[in-house]
Amino acid sequence: MPGSAADRLARLADGYLATQLLHVAVALGVPDALADGPRDAGDLARELGAVPGPLHRVLRGLAAEDVLAETGGGRFALTDTGRLLCAGLPGSLRDWVAMRGRLYYDAAAGLLAAVQDGGTPFEAVHGRPFFAHLSAEPARLATFQAAMADRSAREAGAVVAAYDTGGFASVVDVGGGRGTLLRAVRERVPGADVVLFDLPEVVAGSDLPAVGGDFFAEVPAGADAYLLSRVLHDWDDGDALRVLRTCRAAMRPDSVLLVVEAVLPERAADDAAAVRMDLHMLLLLGGCERTAAGYGRLFADAGLRLTRDVPTDAGVHVLEARPA
Ligand SMILES: C[S@@+](CC[C@H](N)C(=O)[O-])C[C@H]1O[C@@H](n2cnc3c(N)ncnc32)[C@H](O)[C@@H]1O
């Protein structure tokens, strides 16, 4: 019966199907192929190199999830949700979804073993740490960085709206990926001296001033502000502390560190997205989301003090820290 406890449980248990329906759609390019209007499975299958029967059933599955709409005559159209899967549109989540369908999905099957025996599911499945696995294959690394940029594009505007970065003349974005947040900061201070810092293979070819390196070793010194957006949650407390100490060593006494992260709520239901992100970290990296108090303790161990906790409209907080 729709809406019953049993119905809800059935939908939860079948969540694996929803992830794979989205994955198939993105991998084949179905959303882009529907961008100009409704089409049927036979027509799409010819263009996309698929088998019409199974493709029709996948399209119907996507219609059941309101990603597509059935428009009659066996044709399917994009809904507002489905349009978010098209490449290159503002707000697109295409690459963000692509990461979930393969790499994250494979790791998720190792969750029980991790809970019983410890360890990081991603490493058990792929035989090496997450970032090493990405760096080994340029296309995979590019999809991940595009996924991060998809997410960051939704967060960056909210971050600079909530926290005034206008006074910073020099800014280093540590583990900045494609520099989406750094660009938003630079827009606020057009003359600012900005540096994108990330692994050499990530910053290669960036149109931003960039330095490649290892944030466990050294980051560029002496900037007004350091950004760490969605970096600390990738690491357990020991490694997060190493990153913070590297940043602390690079900071002047009056520098500011801005940590952009979800903050774990008291009760899971108060921020389900933060709780899901915490599970992604468990699966992929052995990292974790933290409470504001947890960040405060880490900062103190790194010779920093938490000076502000600024919530944003995008679900992340800006945690401001200064040298203690
Ligand atoms: C979760 S992503 C966050 C990217 C970006 N800051 C954002 O908010 O979208 C973590 C970033 O840390 C970078 N990273 C991982 N290990 C690193 C290391 N040892 N040194 C420098 N950057 C590293 C990754 O390449 C990646 O861009």
pLDDT tens string 231-244: 999 999 999 999 99
pLDDT of residue 151: 87
DSSP H/E element including 105:
helix 105-108
For the chain, give the mean pLDDT: 95
Pocket lining: 257 vs ligand 1, CB cutoff 6 Å: no
Specify the ligand 1 atom closest to the Cα of 173: 6
pLDDT in tens, 53-74: 999 999 999 999 999 999 999 9
CA distances from 116 to 110, 121, 230, 236, 290 (A): 10, 11, 28, 19, 22
Q: Whose CA is nearest to atom 6 of ligand 1?
A: 176
- Locate tokens 């709780």: which residue? 275
d(CA 182, CA 167): 14
pLDDT of residue 91: 84
CA distances from 212 to 146, 202, 249 (A): 18, 8, 18
What is the chain's alpha carbon radius of gyration, rounded to the nearest angstrom? 21
280 is catalytic: no
User: Over pLDDT 70: what percentage of the chain?
Assistant: 99
pLDDT at 198 over 90: yes
pLDDT of residue 88: 83
Pocket lining: 234 vs ligand 1, CB cutoff 6 Å: yes
Strand order of the β-sheet with 75-78 is: 39-40, 75-78, 68-72
Q: What are the residues facing 39 on neighbouring strands?
A: 76
Q: Which fold has domain 5-83?
A: Arc Repressor Mutant, subunit A (1.10.10)
Q: Which fold has domain 151-323?
A: Rossmann fold (3.40.50)
pLDDT in tens, 145-171: 988 988 888 899 999 999 999 999 999
Q: What are the residues facing 251 on neighbouring strands?
A: none
pLDDT of residue 190: 83
Q: Whose CA is nearest to atom 13 of ligand 1?
A: 175
* Domain boundaries along the sequence of the chain: 5-83, 151-323
Quick one: tokens of 320? Answer: 């401001």
Rounded to an integer, the average pLDDT of 63-92 is 95
| Contact (CB, 8 A) for 94 and 101 | no
pLDDT of residue 82: 98
Pocket lining: 231 vs ligand 1, CB cutoff 6 Å: yes
pLDDT of residue 159: 97
| Best mutation site among 99, 104, 131, 239 for ligand 1 pocket (most ligand atoms within 8 Å of CB) | 131
Distance in Å, CA 164 to ligand 1 centroid: 23
| Best mutation site among 103, 194, 199, 257 for ligand 1 pocket (most ligand atoms within 8 Å of CB) | 199
pLDDT at 1 over 70: no
| Best mutation site among 148, 277, 318 for ligand 1 pocket (most ligand atoms within 8 Å of CB) | 148
d(CA 81, CA 192): 37
pLDDT of residue 3: 86
pLDDT in tens, 107-130: 999 999 999 999 999 999 999 999
Pocket lining: 131 vs ligand 1, CB cutoff 6 Å: yes
pLDDT of residue 278: 97
